[in-house]
Amino acid sequence: MAAIQTKLLSADAEGISKASALLRDGALVAIPTETVYGLAADATSDLAVAAIFDAKGRPTFNPLIVHVASLKEAEKIAEFDADAIRLAEAFWPGPLTLVLPLKPGARISKLVSAGLQTVALRVPAQAEARAVLKALGRPLAAPSANPSGRISPTTAAHVIEGLGGRIAAVLDAGPCSVGLESTILATRPTPVLLRPGGLPRDAIEACLGSPVADRQEGEGITAPGQLTSHYAPKGSLRLNAASARPGEVMLGFGPVAADLNLSPGSDLREAAARLFDCLHMLDAKGAKQIAVSPIPDVGLGLAINDRLRRAAAPRG
Ligand code: TXA
Ligand code: MG
């Protein structure tokens, strides 16, 4: 792909209107969401969606999340069962993605769902993402705006670092507030957690009034977030480390001696919001061996530990 000049758009009315115009023309624009920056394209255009896979170097069998402005728009694309309606009403807009049966005749490029009969849908909470969706009046397909297999971006600078020269523009609204990708859930035939994320599992279980099952290995599609090595920094990670060994850089959590700390006050929300930025910073420092403090396996800690385990996994 020939290098193009990636524009940095500001998060004001002018930036939002430029981003929408580019997207309407089939270009790729990275947009801020409350979870991570997404690499957006018009979900109704085969050409625009194909360009996402090309820019990310993403295997085409991995389907994409479709972002819409409201539950009403989502209902034009997928079949909602009672659990799905209840979850959407409780948690949208927000960091929850629902995998549901695709409605026959929905105006969504087949590339988005990679040939599956289901579609992943989300209504983002970030004001700028909502403004772009409203101005465009079309659904947006958007994976995280990073080269395939690399750390997800939580700032416009992370996006430029990974995809600068390959995409038309980035709409810069500062750092993402949640900082981890959305929680992905399929509701049929019974609720199954496909990826832990920014909405804690216990919130979903409390809303449904019943436990949510885990995805069984080898079941259904292989999603990139479910591949063993993913979200990978360049250095190697040692998890559950009490302190750094010689030659290691310490990524702390809580009141420990550390080079970088996810949350000195042991706040999981803060740690989630800072995780990818800290991994990007360690990459920028050229850290080769990274020791990471233990993170409690509760609430958002489940999703943080999921990302850390994948980042620590042997590279294929
Ligand atoms: O927070 C997020 O979810 C961000 C922002 C941009 O919205 N997006 C994101 O997208 O993380 P991505 O492409 O990096 O991850 C999407 C995940 C993948 O693991 C993909 O395989 C899964 O969603 N997925 C998409 N459609 C699916 C389907 N029909 N069935 C099962 N999994 C699906
Ligand atoms: Mg991703």
Report the CATH number that the domain containing residue 19 is assigned in CATH. 3.90.870.10
Domain finish residue from 163, 182, 214: 214
Q: pLDDT digit string (tens) for 253-310?
A: 999 999 999 999 999 999 999 999 999 999 999 999 999 999 999 999 999 999 999 8
| Ligand 1 nearest atom to the CA of residue 223, by list position | 21
Q: CA-to-CA distance for 33 and 39, rounded, in angstroms?
A: 10
Contact, 169 vs 177, CB < 8 A? no
What is the number of other CB atoms lying within 10 angstroms of the CB of residue 140?
27
How confident is the model at residue 14, as a pLDDT? 98
Residue among 301, 311, 71, 274 at smallest CA distance from 201: 301
Residue 115 pLDDT exceeds 70: yes
How confident is the model at residue 226, as a pLDDT? 54
Count of structural domains, the chain: 2
The residues with which 140 forms a beta bridge, in sequence order, are 42, 67
Residue 228 pLDDT exceeds 80: no
Question: Binning pLDDT at 50, 70 and 90, where does residue 1 land?
Answer: low
Indicate whether 127 belongs to any domain: yes
**Ligand 1 within 6 A of 39 CB?**
no
Domain match, 85 and 160 both? yes
| Ligand 1 nearest atom to the CA of residue 120, by list position | 26
Instruction: Give pairs for 101-109: CB < 8 Å, separation 24+.
Output: 101/188, 102/77, 102/78, 103/76, 103/77, 103/78, 103/79, 106/76, 106/77, 106/78, 107/44, 108/43, 108/44, 108/66, 108/77, 108/139, 109/43, 109/44, 109/45, 109/46, 109/48, 109/49, 109/141
Span from the CA of 250 to the centroid of ligand 1 (angstroms): 30
Domain match, 210 and 240 both? no
Indicate whether 228 belongs to any domain: no
Domain match, 159 and 30 both? yes
Test site for ligand 1: of 181, 182, 226, most ligand atoms within 8 A of the Cβ: 181
**Ligand 1 within 6 A of 181 CB?**
yes
Indicate whether 219 belongs to any domain: no
Domain match, 184 and 115 both? yes
**Ligand 1 within 6 A of 113 CB?**
yes
Domain match, 138 and 247 both? no
Domain match, 198 and 247 both? no
**Ligand 1 within 6 A of 93 CB?**
no
**Ligand 1 within 6 A of 125 CB?**
no
Span from the CA of 255 to the centroid of ligand 2 (angstroms): 31
Average pLDDT over residues 73-101: 98
Domain match, 209 and 242 both? no
Query: Which DSSP string corresponds to the chain?
Result: ------EEEESSHHHHHHHHHHHHTT--EEE--SSS-EEEEETT-HHHHHHHHHHHT--TTS--EEE-SSHHHHTTTB---HHHHHHHHHH-SSSEEEEEEBPTT-S--TTTTTT-SEEEEE----HHHHHHHHHH-S-EE--BSS-TTBPPPSSHHHHHHHHTTTSSEEEE--S-SS-SPPEEEE-SSS-EEEE--SS-HHHHHHHHTS--EEPPTTSS---GGGSSS-SB-SSEEE-S-SSPPTTPEEEE-SSS--SEES-TT--HHHHHHHHHHHHHHHHHHT-SEEEE----SSTHHHHHHHHHHHHHSPP-
Domain match, 182 and 257 both? no
How confident is the model at residue 310, as a pLDDT? 87
Indicate whether 254 belongs to any domain: yes
Indicate whether 283 belongs to any domain: yes
Indicate whether 224 belongs to any domain: no
Residue 105 pLDDT exceeds 70: yes
Indicate whether 2 belongs to any domain: no
Residue 230 pLDDT exceeds 80: no
| pTM summary value | 0.91
Domain match, 98 and 164 both? yes
Domain match, 201 and 245 both? no
Residue 2 pLDDT exceeds 70: no
Average pLDDT over residues 159-171: 97
Question: Binning pLDDT at 50, 70 and 90, where does residue 222 land?
Answer: very low
How confident is the model at residue 250, as a pLDDT? 98
Domain match, 140 and 276 both? no
Residue 277 belongs to domain spanning? 236-312
Domain match, 95 and 244 both? no
Ligand closest to CA 77: 1
Indicate whether 229 belongs to any domain: no
Q: pLDDT digit string (tens) for 122-159?
A: 999 999 999 999 999 999 999 999 998 899 999 999 99
